[in-house]
């Protein structure tokens, strides 16, 4: 029998954060559609979660750097009315600093972290708005707020995800659709090894276990947060940063340059 909660479609569900969302959402009673390239890992996760929770778990192997494959996931999101949650999570990290990274690899990163994420978020926003319900969880990163401290292409992809989420929220919040950007700090997953690094080179005091990260992010979703930073002790700090940004609003577009530039006619 289909779950009354509906189905959660999770990208990057074969490991790390996505696999943990799959576990937690199955335990909450959602049916699942698991998307990633590694069909065997998806199948193994599907069998375990079906056995342990009794929900229906479909696997959808897809390489999300392939635009035709992204279109097929998009079609599923648009056509399957049972889908009530998108966890837009698949992503890759940098191989090092920008000056040492391979530009072709950075293009692939943009294809996965930006182009595919955008396509699926827009499809879900449009479909969920018509259905009058649903939740979109976009996995960004705290590096969206600290571009000076990380590979610029990676942090820019995550700033894209944060901006996109905030903008979608302003269009769908009155249509019964929840939107959340999750900004993890360093989280213990395969992402560092996959990019040729090692999690062991990172300060342990800064690395969160993936289950804690996802449980905090889901608590943030339950609390109705638009932006969730699992590490941040005081949410007032984020509120203040957002207020400072919004305070710029009235002065971001005038018909004359500011007087301090001394431009004739100002
Ligand atoms: N771990 C951290 O410290 C951290 C911090 C902030 C944000 N994040 C973000 O969290 C998200 C999940 O990362 P993670 O840490 O859980 O890393 P992970 O363990 O490496 O998981 C990445 C997932 O993305 C999938 N994936 C990679 N390339 C793909 C492709 N071309 N097409 C489809 N799926 C693909 C992988 O599956 P397949 O290999 O089977 O395709 C895997 O399921 C990413 O967006 C990452 O940027 C992570």
Greatest Cα-to-Cα distance within the chain, rounded to the nearest angstrom: 73
Residue 66 vs residues 63, 126, 158, 168, 172: alpha-carbon distances, Å: 6, 22, 20, 24, 28
Which pair of structure tokens corresponds to residue 264? 């004739």
From ligand 1's centre to the CA of 148, what distance in Å? 22
In a domain, 264, yes or no: no
Q: What is the mean pLDDT of the chain?
A: 96
Q: By residue range, what is the domain housing residue 162? A: 7-235
Write the pLDDT tens digit of every residue in 27-62: 999 999 999 999 999 999 999 999 999 999 999 999
In a domain, 254, yes or no: no
Secondary element (H or E) of residue 28: helix 16-28
Write the pLDDT tens digit of every residue in 187-208: 999 999 999 988 888 899 999 9
pLDDT of the residue at 156: 98
Q: Provide, rounded to the nearest whole percent, the portion of the chain with pLDDT above 90.
A: 95
- Residues 225, 241, 114: CA angle, nearest 5 degrees: 65
In a domain, 227, yes or no: yes
Can you tell me the mean pLDDT for 4-19?
Answer: 98
Can you tell me the mean pLDDT for 65-92?
Answer: 98
Indicate whether 1 pLDDT > 70: yes
In a domain, 98, yes or no: yes
In a domain, 39, yes or no: yes
Indicate whether 265 pLDDT > 80: no
Q: Provide, rounded to the nearest whole percent, the portion of the chain with pLDDT above 70.
A: 99
Of the two residues 1 and 52, the one the predictor is more confident about is 52
> Which residue matches tokens 């894209």?
160
In a domain, 175, yes or no: yes
Indicate whether 266 pLDDT > 60: no
In a domain, 259, yes or no: no
**Nearest residue by C-alpha to atom 1 in ligand 1:** 187
Which residues sit with their C-beta closer than 6 Å to ligand 1? 12-18, 36-38, 41, 63-65, 89-93, 112, 139, 141, 184, 186-187, 189-191, 194
Q: Which atom of ligand 1 is least distant from the CA of 18?
A: 16
Can you tell me the mean pLDDT for 84-97?
Answer: 96
Can you tell me the mean pLDDT for 166-179?
Answer: 98
pLDDT of the residue at 201: 85
From ligand 1's centre to the CA of 17, what distance in Å? 7
From ligand 1's centre to the CA of 240, what distance in Å? 30
CATH label of the domain that carries residue 188: 3.40.50.720
Residue 240 banded pLDDT, cuts 50, 70, 90: very high
- Count of domains forming the chain: 1
In a domain, 250, yes or no: no
Nearest to 160 by CA among 111, 201, 194: 111
Residue 55 vs residues 15, 51, 60, 186: alpha-carbon distances, Å: 19, 8, 16, 31
> Which residue matches tokens 């000076």?
148
Residue 218 vs residues 24, 28, 180, 225, 259: alpha-carbon distances, Å: 9, 11, 10, 10, 47
Write the pLDDT tens digit of every residue in 100-128: 999 999 999 999 999 999 999 999 999 99
């Amino acid at each position: 029998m289909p779950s009354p909660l509906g189905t959660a479609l999770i990208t990057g569900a074969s490991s790390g954060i996505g696999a943990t969302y799959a576990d937690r959402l199955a335990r909450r009673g959602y049916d699942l559609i698991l998307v990633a390239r590694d069909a065997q890992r998806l199948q193994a996760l599907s069998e375990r979660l079906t056995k342990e929770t009794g929900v229906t778990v479909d696997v959808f192997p897809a390489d999300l750097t392939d635009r035709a494959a992204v279109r097929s996931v998009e079609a599923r999101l648009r056509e399957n009315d049972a889908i009530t949650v998108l966890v837009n999570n698949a992503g890759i990290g940098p191989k090092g600093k920008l000056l040492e990274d391979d530009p072709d690899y950075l293009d692939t990163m943009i294809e996965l972290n930006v182009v595919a994420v955008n396509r699926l978020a827009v499809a879900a926003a449009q479909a969920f708005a018509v259905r009058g319900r649903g939740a979109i969880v976009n996995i960004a990163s705290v590096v969206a707020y600290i571009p000076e401290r990380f590979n610029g292409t990676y942090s820019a992809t995550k700033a894209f995800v944060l901006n996109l989420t905030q903008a979608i929220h302003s269009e769908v919040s009155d249509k019964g659709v929840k939107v959340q950007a999750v900004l993890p700090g360093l989280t213990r997953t395969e992402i560092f090894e996959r990019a040729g690094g090692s999690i062991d080179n990172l300060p342990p005091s800064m690395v969160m276990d993936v289950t804690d990260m996802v449980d905090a992010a889901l608590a943030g979703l339950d609390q109705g947060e638009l932006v969730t930073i699992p590490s941040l002790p005081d949410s007032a700090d984020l509120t203040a940063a957002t207020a400072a940004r919004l305070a710029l609003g009235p002065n971001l577009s005038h018909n004359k340059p500011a007087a301090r530039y001394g431009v004739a006619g100002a």
